[in-house]
Amino acid sequence: MIYTVKDVARILQIPESTVYEYIRNNVIPSFKIGKHVRVRKDDLDECIERLMK
């Protein structure tokens, strides 16, 4: 599954601007399709697990 920034913000219950900041700082791995930023579900799950340790 692939998430948009809006999806990630909703899942983590944080503002979209914070998601973009995390992406810029490589906290959340992402990729672009054209101008659109996307996050793989597996990458988000792994990121959450890593940060919870």
Structure tokens at 39: 């996050």
What is the reported pLDDT for 53?
A: 84
User: SS3 helix, strand, coil % of the chain, rounded to 5?
Assistant: 55, 20, 25
| CATH class assigned to 2-52 | mainly alpha
The domain limits of the chain are 2-52
Structure tokens at 50: 């890593």
Contact, 37 vs 26, CB < 8 A?
no
> Per-residue pLDDT tens for 24-52?
999 999 999 999 999 999 999 999 999 89
Stretch (H or E) spanning 6: helix 5-12
What is the reported pLDDT for 8?
A: 98
Contact, 43 vs 28, CB < 8 A?
yes
Give this prediction's pTM: 0.92
